[in-house]
Amino acid sequence: MSKLLENKTAIITGATRGIGRGIAQTFARNGCNVAFTYSSSVEAAQSLEKELNELGVKAKSYQSNAADFGEAQALVDKVLVEFDSVDILVNNAGITKDNLLMRISEEDFDQVIEVNLKSVFNMTKAIQRTFLKQKSGSLIHMSSVVGIKGNAGQSNYAASKAGIIGFSKAIALELGSRNIRSNVVAPGFIETEMTEKLSEDVVQKWREGIPLKRGGAPEDVANACVFLASDLSNYITGQVLQVDGGMLT
C-alpha cells in the first residue's frame, strides 16, 4: 500500500503532546519525514523523535519558540540543512489563557496572540522563500471552532484563531499562482491530555452536544492534515476544514 506522504518532509510546530503529537505520528506512518518543535519538554521530544525514527522515516526535534521571528527563521534554516527540502508546514503551536474580558490582563491577551497568531506569520514567512523556489508547498494552519463561533471567556483565544483563518485566506490568494496552498483545520472538542483535567460530567455534556455523540481523537485531526498535505488535495486552497463531529453544523 502506497503511503500518502512518501518522500515528503514536514515541519510541525508544538508536536510533543495532544494534536501536534498525533499529527507527527500520523505523518510518519504515511512516509513523511518530520522536523518538529517543542518549547520545554525535552524528554517528551526525545521520546517522540525515537518513536518516529523507528517508523522508518527521518525525524528530528528542535527546541524553538515560533512566536519569536528570529527563532522561526533560524529553525527553518536548520531544518533545510538537515533535510534538504521542506514540502509541508503545519502551524500547530498554541496556548490558552482563558478569562472573562473584565478579568483578563493585557499580558494574557498579548501572549495568546503572540504564540497562536504571530507564530503563524513568523513560520509562514520563514518557509515562503523555500516554497517559492520549488514552486510547491502545503501550508496547514491549526485554528479552532472557537475561531469561527467565539466562546465566552476565550476572547484572546478566539481572536487568535479567527486571525489565523483570515491570514490563511490572504496567503492562499497571494501564493496560489506559485502552486503553494494554504488551508486551515478547525478542530472541535478533541480529547487530549488537556481535556483529561475536566470532570467526566463536563466531558459527557460536551459529547451530548455533538451530532456524532463523541469527542474527537488527535488522529481525527491528523488524518485531515494528511489529506491537506498530500497530493489528494492539490486543487484545494483557502479552505477551512472543520473536524468537529458536526458541532457547528
Instruction: Report the CATH number that the domain containing residue 168 is assigned in CATH.
Output: 3.40.50.720
Whether 3 maps to a domain, the answer reads no
Whether 125 maps to a domain, the answer reads yes
pLDDT at site 1: 58
**Percentage of the chain modeled with pLDDT above 90:** 92
Helix (H, G, I), strand (E, B) or coil at 184: strand
Whether 39 maps to a domain, the answer reads yes
Q: State the residue range of the domain holding 20.
A: 9-243
Mean pLDDT value across residues 221-236: 98
Alpha-carbon distance 19 to 88, whole Å? Answer: 17
Task: Give the number of domains in the chain.
Answer: 1
Alpha-carbon distance 205 to 197, whole Å? Answer: 15
Q: Within 10 A of 202 (CB to CB), how many other CB atoms are there?
A: 11
In 101-161, DSSP assigns E strands to 137-142
pLDDT at site 198: 80
pTM of the model as a whole: 0.96
Whether 4 maps to a domain, the answer reads no
235 assigned to active site: no
Considering the candidates 38, 62, 157, 235, report the single residue annotated as catalytic: 157
Whether 1 maps to a domain, the answer reads no
